[in-house]
Amino acid sequence: MSSFTDFIQYDFLLYSLIGAILLSLASGPLSPLIIAKRQAFMGGAVSHSTLLGLALGLWWIETQNTLLLFLFTLVTTLVLTLILARQSFKEKLPEESFIGIFYTITMALGILVHSQNAQNKGDLMSYLFGNVLMLSPEDLIIASIPTILSLVTIKLLWKQWSFWAYDPEGAQVAGHPIKLWHYLFYLLQTLIIVSGLKLVGIVLIQAFLLIPGHFALKISKDIKSTYRNSLIFAVSTSIIGLYLANLFELPAGASMAVVQFIGLALTTIILNLKERGLS
C-alpha cells in the first residue's frame, strides 16, 4: 500500500513531488490573471508553439542536455510568443482566428521537423502529457526559475497586475505601462509552460493555468485573496493528485489535472446549492 512515506523513501517520487509543488507555486498566482484577461485560448497557443521549439532543439542539440534543450525551447517559444503578443496587442486581425491559426501551424511544423530530422533523438509526443516521475534534480532547478519569478512579481506587484487585468482602460488613463504588463504576462506564461513540459506536458499544463484561478474567483471575496486561494488550491490538488497517481499506479499529470477539475466541480456544486438555500 502506497503512503506519503514513499515520497521520502524514493528519490524519483520526491523529485516528482517537488516538481509538482514548484509548478503549482508558479501557475497558481498567474492563473487568476489568465481567467480575468480571458486568455485561456492564448495559453493554449503558447503551449502548442513549444512543440516547434522542442522539435528544433531535439534536431540541433546533439547531446541530451536538459538545460540546453530547455534554454533552446524557451528562446524559440519566446520568439514565437512575442509575435503572438504583439499581434494580440495591436488586434489587427480577429484575435480568435489568429490564435487558432498560430497554434495549429506551429504544432504542425513541430511535428514535421521532428518526423524528418529528429525521430531518433527523443519522443516528441511524450511531451504532450509529460512524465513527472522521470524528473531529475536539473529539471527541478529549471522549474524553480518561473516559480520564483511568478511568486515575486505577483506578490510585490499584485495591485498593478490587478489594475491591468481588471481595468485596463483605467490603467491606461492612469499612466500605467499596459504594454509592458502585456509582454511581461506573456513572458511569465511562457516560462511556466516550457518549464512544465516534462512535468505535465503541453496538453495538461492548461489545467494548472486555468482551473486554480477559476476556483479562486468563485470563492474569494477580494482580489488579494484570489491570488492566495488560487495558489493554495493549485498546491493542494497537485499533492493529492500525485499521491493518488502513486497509490493507484495512474499517470501523474492526468491525475493531478482530474483532481483539480473535481475540486472545481465540487466547489461549483456547493456554491450553487448555497445560493438556492439547499445546503
In a domain, residue 1? The reply is no
In a domain, residue 264? The reply is yes
pLDDT at residue number 274: 87
d(CA 103, CA 49) in angstroms, rounded, equals: 6
pLDDT at residue number 28: 95
Residue reference for cell 497558481: 28
d(CA 161, CA 168) in angstroms, rounded, equals: 10
Does residue 143 contact residue 19 with C-beta atoms inside 8 Å?
yes
pLDDT at residue number 95: 60
If the chain, 279 residues long, is cut into consecutive pieces of 10 residues, what is the mean pLDDT of each piece?
A: 77 92 94 88 82 86 74 90 79 64 86 80 72 83 92 91 88 86 91 88 89 95 94 96 92 93 95 78
Does residue 78 contact residue 106 with C-beta atoms inside 8 Å?
no
Question: What is the CATH number for 32?
Answer: 1.10.3470.10
In a domain, residue 86? The reply is yes
In a domain, residue 144? The reply is yes
Burial class (CB in 10 A: 0-12, 13-18, 19+), 173: exposed
d(CA 165, CA 123) in angstroms, rounded, equals: 38
In a domain, residue 105? The reply is yes
pTM over 0.85: yes
Does residue 235 contact residue 24 with C-beta atoms inside 8 Å?
yes
In a domain, residue 52? The reply is yes
Domain count, the chain: 1
pLDDT at residue number 245: 92
In a domain, residue 237? The reply is yes
d(CA 73, CA 59) in angstroms, rounded, equals: 11
Does residue 189 contact residue 34 with C-beta atoms inside 8 Å?
yes
Residue range(s) defining the domain that contains residue 171:
6-275
